[in-house]
Structure 1
Amino acid sequence: MTEHTAPKHTPDLPTLSAYLDGELDHHAEQRVATHLVACPLCAARFAELQALSADFKALPMASLGFDLAGVIEGRLAAAPRSATARPERRWFSQWPLAIGAAASIAAGVFMGSALVAGRAAEVPRMAALRVFDIMPPGSLCIGLESCYRKESTQ
């Protein structure tokens, strides 16, 4: 069976790994131990984890033989400051940004006031309640009967 078709067991791989490392609380450790006795599939997987852990512990400890931090600090100290330092900015180099921001704000205020000022006299205050109509403004109509309410002649 593959990993995707295997039945789902209570202790998954991270739980078995935590059990091997002794990171579970007492109740969870008892549940996993009971399950490992009853389930040969999980017991085999736990044995594989134990073998893998033993193999990792058997690997030799690798060391450089010198302090790498000292080498890096020496190289950083020897690096030219002009390449790493941020260039100084003058106030006049910010003018294009300031002018662009001011122009966009002014254009937005002008366009917004032109839209509101032209329609303020035409639109009555009750127009705000139009959102409760059958079809709110801006909706797409399927047919004429869905967009227009039939007036009763009583």
Structure 2
Amino acid sequence: MTEHLDMAILSAYLDNELDAAAQRHAAAHLAGCPQCRATLAELDGLGQGLRALACPELPAELQARLQRPFAPPPVRRVSAPRRRSCSACCSAMPCPASRRAAHPATTCSPSSAAPHPARSARAPNSAT
């Protein structure tokens, strides 16, 4: 007679977790070994008893604490960028749509106007 099946093999046999060859080997051994059949029956009875036990409800606080590491991160709202004045290039002039397209994150306001850098650097136009 061969060695008896160990508890890990018997448990895997009960749960149908053995590959086909190991399943056939265990079934053949169980057919001829009353001691392993008795152990298998005890193991099966233990599993049925455990499944029949009532499982108490966890307290809500404990459930929340256990689930917290697996929760998705909170959604962060991103606000629209604040508009800023584009005084360096166009505050002294009206702000046409083309200039707004070139500087979408700015609003050109003549009230906060500083002279356009390129215009203030030029000498007045004199006739020769």
The higher-RCO structure (CA 8 Å, 6+ apart) is 2
Which structure has the highest helix share of the two?
1
